[in-house]
């Protein structure tokens, strides 16, 4: 993931160098943007050497004497679109005020307006400036807008005073960045296989049977698992989506191709999540030439496709298997039946007729049914948040299955 680190002009600007290192440990690609005042405290070269890329210091970076060119005129938009997050540390009182009012008079403040990525701000200043009602109002305005504020620490300040205003510790800022980006480490060491999207079954060289799956839920799962530290293999039917950074993408089209890909790669995996909407039937004999229009009715003969999830369950080992159930009626009954019949550990069920759920939506409303009898109805939330709740449940099941069962009367593991 790529983030921009905005450094503004305070004594704490030197601490931003340490922050770069810490963020790089999270495998984040850091683009540093410095205000003019920041450059009075630290040289851009420090950040350029740490990140291996040019530090952005000017709105219009013209070569000596020459007028600014088109690249510099649109650079802030390009950076704004590329980043997954903007963190500003340290943020001076002046920068806070500009952010709160939407002033865009340099690269950093323009980037703040131009990006739709989440923003994290770590203020640092003299205690009186921090406690001034103007600053506090600006902080509240930013917070109300969804900006994550990493409060300054109390202590001895460079100006000789003692109080709140010292830049929060590097660890606290890094933690806030990771939280906002959904980076956790609870899937370190796990390999997750995620299937996504629809499958297609050809009728003839120009027509096929498919379904309305957009792949968004599966891609969100792959993204979330990767951010939490898993190695991710994403086996996807045709979708219009960009695969999340860092996942190994295997593109397939038909159910047969997905079946082969899943069975081949599943042996490497500790978790399999089958979010794909797999075609249940395919034409018995697809035509090799385009079917011509006739006067009468056309009957298609279809045969069932292999059930990938059920076949996987046969050699399950201690792999956690997650299936989906997209239903239009009797959701719970169908989900419980699929949990049993497919020998899955978890079934994620949703009623696709509900507003805000199902195909091609940004949100989903799901219920989770687990092999140990838990039933959890989640409210409407983004597919990324749903993905994280599913992964939480996977971890819970993983820990439950690793608990050593104690035989009645025999000593438990702790005795
Ligand atoms: N699935 C699969 N292989 C298939 C069909 C489905 O692996 N050939 C998986 C899906 O990826 C999903 C789960 O099984 O995780 C349930 O899919 P669904 O289509 O809801 O269930 P079906 O068993 O096909 O039952 P029905 O369509 O009749 O509801």
Q: Are residues 51 and 176 in the same domain?
A: yes
Asked if the structure places residue 75 within a domain, the reply is yes
Biggest CA pair distance of the chain: 92
- Our answer on whether the CB atom of 331 is closer than 6 Å to any ligand 1 atom is no
* Distance of CA 275 from the midpoint of ligand 1 (Å): 9
Q: CA–CA separation, 47 vs 15, rounded Å?
A: 11
* Distance of CA 325 from the midpoint of ligand 1 (Å): 7
Alpha-carbon distances, residue 79 vs 32, 33, 72, 148, 297 (angstroms): 11, 10, 11, 20, 56
Beta bridge pairs of residue 248: 233
Domain boundary among 181, 210, 233: 181
Q: Are 270 and 320 in contact (CB under 8 A)?
A: yes
Asked if the structure places residue 293 within a domain, the reply is no
Q: What is the helix (H) or strand (E) element at residue 292, kind and residue range?
A: none
* Distance of CA 277 from the midpoint of ligand 1 (Å): 7
Q: Are residues 155 and 41 in the same domain?
A: yes
- Our answer on whether the CB atom of 326 is closer than 6 Å to any ligand 1 atom is yes
Atom index in ligand 1 nearest the CA of residue 277 equals: 11
- Our answer on whether the CB atom of 237 is closer than 6 Å to any ligand 1 atom is no
Q: Are residues 61 and 196 in the same domain?
A: no
Tell me whether residue 251 is exposed, middle or buried, using C-beta atoms within 10 angstroms of its C-beta: 0 to 12, 13 to 18, 19 or more: middle
Q: CA–CA separation, 40 vs 80, rounded Å?
A: 25
Is 269 an active-site residue?
A: no
Which of these, 363, 342, 341, lies nearest to 352 by C-alpha position?
Answer: 363
Task: Check 159, 178, 200, 269 and give the catalytic one.
Answer: 159
- The number of distinct structural domains making up the chain is 2
* Distance of CA 361 from the midpoint of ligand 1 (Å): 20
Q: Are residues 168 and 199 in the same domain?
A: no
Q: Select from 196, 274, 277, 312 the residue to mutate for testing ligand 1; criterion: most ligand atoms less than 8 Å from CB.
A: 274
CATH number at residue 345: 3.40.50.10300
- Our answer on whether the CB atom of 338 is closer than 6 Å to any ligand 1 atom is yes
* Distance of CA 395 from the midpoint of ligand 1 (Å): 23
Please report, in tens digits, the pLDDT of each residue of the chain (415 residues total).
Answer: 899 999 999 999 999 999 999 999 999 999 999 999 999 999 999 999 999 999 999 887 655 566 666 666 677 788 999 999 999 999 999 999 999 999 999 999 999 999 999 999 999 999 999 999 999 999 999 999 999 999 999 988 888 888 889 999 999 999 999 999 999 999 999 999 999 999 999 999 999 999 999 999 999 999 999 999 999 999 999 999 999 989 999 999 999 999 999 999 999 999 999 999 999 999 999 999 999 998 899 999 999 999 999 999 998 889 999 999 999 999 999 999 999 999 999 999 998 888 878 787 889 999 999 999 999 999 999 999 999 999 999 999 999 887 755 444 444 444 3
């Amino acid at each position: 993931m790529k983030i921009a680190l905005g450094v503004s002009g305070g004594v704490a600007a030197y601490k931003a160098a340490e922050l770069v290192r810490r963020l790089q440990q999270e495998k984040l690609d850091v683009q540093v943007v410095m205000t003019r005042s920041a450059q009075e405290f630290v040289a851009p070269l420090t950040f350029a050497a740490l990140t291996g890329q040019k530090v952005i210091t000017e709105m219009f970076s013209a070569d000596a004497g020459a007028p600014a060119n088109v690249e510099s005129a649109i650079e802030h938009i390009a950076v704004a679109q590329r980043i997954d997050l903007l963190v500003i540390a340290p943020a001076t009182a002046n920068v806070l005020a500009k952010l709160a009012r939407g002033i865009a008079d340099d690269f950093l403040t323009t980037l703040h307006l131009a990006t739709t990525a989440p923003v994290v701000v770590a203020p640092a200043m003299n205690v009186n400036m921090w406690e001034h009602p103007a600053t506090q109002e600006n902080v509240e305005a930013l917070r109300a807008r969804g900006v994550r504020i990493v409060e300054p620490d109390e202590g001895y300040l460079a100006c000789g005073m003692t109080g709140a205003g010292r830049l929060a510790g590097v660890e606290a800022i890094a933690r806030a960045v990771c939280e906002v980006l959904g980076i956790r480490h609870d899937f370190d060491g796990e390999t997750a296989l995620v299937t996504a999207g629809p499958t297609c079954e050809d009728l003839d060289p120009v027509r096929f049977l498919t379904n309305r799956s957009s792949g968004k839920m599966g891609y969100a799962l792959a993204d979330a698992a990767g951010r939490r530290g898993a190695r991710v293999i994403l086996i996807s039917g045709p979708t219009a989506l960009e695969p999340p950074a860092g996942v190994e993408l295997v593109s397939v089209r038909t159910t047969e191709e997905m079946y082969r890909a899943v069975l081949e790669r599943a042996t490497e995996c500790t978790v399999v999540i089958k979010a794909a909407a797999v075609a249940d039937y395919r034409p018995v004999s697809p035509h090799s030439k385009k079917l011509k229009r006739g006067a009468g009715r056309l009957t298609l003969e279809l045969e069932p496709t292999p059930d990938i999830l059920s076949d996987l369950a046969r050699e399950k080992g201690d792999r956690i298997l997650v299936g989906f159930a997209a239903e239009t009626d009797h959701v719970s009954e169908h989900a419980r039946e699929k949990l049993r019949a497919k020998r899955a550990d978890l079934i994620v069920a949703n009623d696709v007729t509900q507003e805000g759920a199902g195909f091609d939506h940004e949100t989903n409303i799901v219920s989770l049914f687990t092999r140990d009898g838990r039933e959890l109805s989640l409210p409407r939330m983004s597919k990324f948040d749903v993905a994280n709740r599913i992964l939480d449940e996977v971890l819970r099941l993983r820990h439950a299955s690793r608990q050593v069962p104690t035989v009645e009367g025999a000593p438990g593991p702790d005795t």
